[in-house]
């Protein structure tokens, strides 16, 4: 494991227990952890007592039991983790107000909801009030998350986010039902099988879209400059092949569709294969990160390693800590020119790689402004196979730039959807050839050779 990543894990371990890996993504991006929250602080126990009083006041049939105590201990742990590890200081009263609102909404939908589900609804509402990425996950959602980090899961093959209400497509995953159905970055999913999406949390929306392979879901799509339309998408077992490569003349083309467990090693193999096949005469490389919604932070650092000899890749800032991730891998391309392709579907881990190579003057960026997600989430194991996702840090490029608003490419060019030609790739390949020949090329940060 990269020593920088291990340092971050050790830090989180000292604060909350054991954290096993780091994941960042536009929609489902996290630090996956196995956390022993220890004994909750007094304010967390007080919050749990207040929650139980609210339940008793709203549900006259609620009676304390051993199971009730277990439910409240889960709430205590979540409250304590938020107080200790959330990226910004939080107000106890605001947290409890959100939890109480979640209780009331759950009881309005079903008056006889079991106690554990009431506590779950309160916990979910409390976390959702923090930001679009902090979430409480029940057993099914938590298992789905673990499947995704392995790059194999059942569903549509689509990365989504929920910021300011609507459920937006970050990007369809290459070679999946969502891509074949024609879904595009920026599409808004308004309904699934007639169910409105906007009132749902991100986790609930994901659960609605998922189902058994072979079944279908009817999506209602809102797209700019087009009337709303329906599209049926058949669910499949999704196995993401994250790296593909080929030769384009004298330029090696490298495509990364997501950052999963083997991405770094697979990309290293692809680079070496191109060098071997050309007897090391390949002139330049194009790294295509378009419609790549992110994934494992460890793998984004490893990918940047392959193009850098040393130096800073990214750094994160939490509430009271900062962590730097350095490159130690060695430039596997032997300092050949690199052009990186990005667009509005490039997010999180993609933005870390693109931002690092741009700030370090190692690559020119071509395409469109990226998605813009600059936060890191930590996934904590909770009792009874449940989990929570909590925003614990913000990340910055080597030059100190937050990517929250997106990364602007050095050469901006839109792809024309009305043509079969890939205008962005054509421009990137031409720029790679120019760079290999040595003429000056102007970047956002100045002219370079």
List active site positions.
348, 359, 373
CA distances to 129, 196, 264 from 165, rounded to whole Å, are: 12, 11, 34
- Residues 235, 178: Cα–Cα separation, whole Å: 9
Residue 25, number of CB atoms within 10 A of its CB: 27
Residue 254, number of CB atoms within 10 A of its CB: 24
CA count, 13 A, side-chain hemisphere, 416: 7
Listed in sequence order, the residues at least 6 apart from 443 whose beta carbon sits closer than 8 Å to its beta carbon are 358, 361, 364, 365, 410
403 closest CA partner among 355, 344, 346: 355
Evaluate whether 329 touches 275 at the Cβ level (below 8 Å).
no
Any bridge partners for residue 251, and if so which? 248, 284
User: Using H for helix, E for strand and C for coil, what is the string for 175-232?
Assistant: CCHHHHCCCCCCCEEEEECCEECCCCCHHHHHHHHCCCCCCEEEEEEEECCEEEEEEE
Residue 179, number of CB atoms within 10 A of its CB: 18
């Amino acid at each position: 494991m990269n020593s920088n990543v291990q340092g971050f894990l050790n830090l989180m371990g000292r604060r909350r227990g054991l954290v096993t890996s780091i994941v960042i993504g536009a929609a489902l991006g996290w630090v996956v952890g196995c956390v022993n929250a220890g004994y909750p602080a007094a304010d967390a126990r007080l919050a749990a007592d207040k929650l139980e009083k609210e339940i008793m006041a709203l549900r006259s049939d609620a009676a304390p039991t051993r199971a009730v105590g277990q439910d409240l201990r889960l709430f205590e742990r979540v409250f304590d983790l938020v107080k200790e590890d959330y990226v910004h200081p939080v107000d106890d009263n605001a947290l409890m107000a959100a939890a109480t609102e979640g209780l009331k909404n759950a009881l309005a939908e079903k008056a006889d909801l079991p106690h554990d589900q009431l506590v779950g609804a309160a916990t979910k509402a409390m976390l959702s009030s923090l930001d679009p990425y902090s979430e409480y996950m029940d057993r099914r959602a938590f298992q789905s998350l673990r499947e995704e980090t392995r790059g194999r899961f059942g569903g549509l093959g689509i990365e989504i986010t929920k910021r300011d209400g609507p459920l937006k497509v970050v990007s369809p995953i290459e070679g999946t039902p969502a891509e074949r159905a024609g879904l595009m970055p920026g599409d808004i999913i308004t309904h699934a099988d007639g169910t409105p999406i906007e009132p749902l949390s991100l986790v609930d929306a994901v659960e609605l879209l998922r189902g058994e392979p072979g079944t279908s879901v009817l999506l209602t799509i809102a797209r700019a400059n087009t009337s709303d339309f329906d599209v049926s998408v058949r669910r499949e077992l999704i196995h993401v092949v994250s790296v593909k490569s080929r030769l384009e003349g004298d330029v090696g083309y490298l495509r990364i569709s997501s950052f999963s467990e083997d991405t770094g090693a697979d990309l290293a193999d692809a680079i070496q294969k191109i060098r071997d096949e050309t007897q090391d005469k390949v002139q330049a490389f194009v790294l295509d990160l378009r419609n790549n919604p992110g994934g494992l932070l460890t793998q984004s650092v490893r990918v940047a390693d392959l193009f850098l000899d040393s130096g800073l890749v990214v750094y994160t800032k939490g509430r009271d800590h900062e962590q730097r991730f350095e490159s130690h891998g060695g430039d596997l391309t032997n300092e050949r020119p690199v052009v990186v392709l990005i667009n509005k579907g490039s997010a999180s881990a993609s933005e870390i790689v693109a931002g690092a190579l741009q700030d370090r003057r190692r690559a020119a960026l071509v395409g469109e402004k990226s998605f813009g997600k600059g936060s890191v989430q930590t996934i904590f194991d909770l009792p009874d196979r449940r989990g929570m996702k909590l925003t614990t840090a913000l990340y910055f490029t080597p030059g100190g730039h937050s990517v929250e608003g997106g990364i602007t490419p050095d050469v901006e060019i839109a792809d024309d959807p009305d043509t079969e030609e890939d205008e962005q790739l054509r421009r990137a390949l031409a720029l790679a050839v120019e760079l290999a020949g040595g003429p000056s090329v102007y970047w956002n940060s100045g002219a370079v050779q």
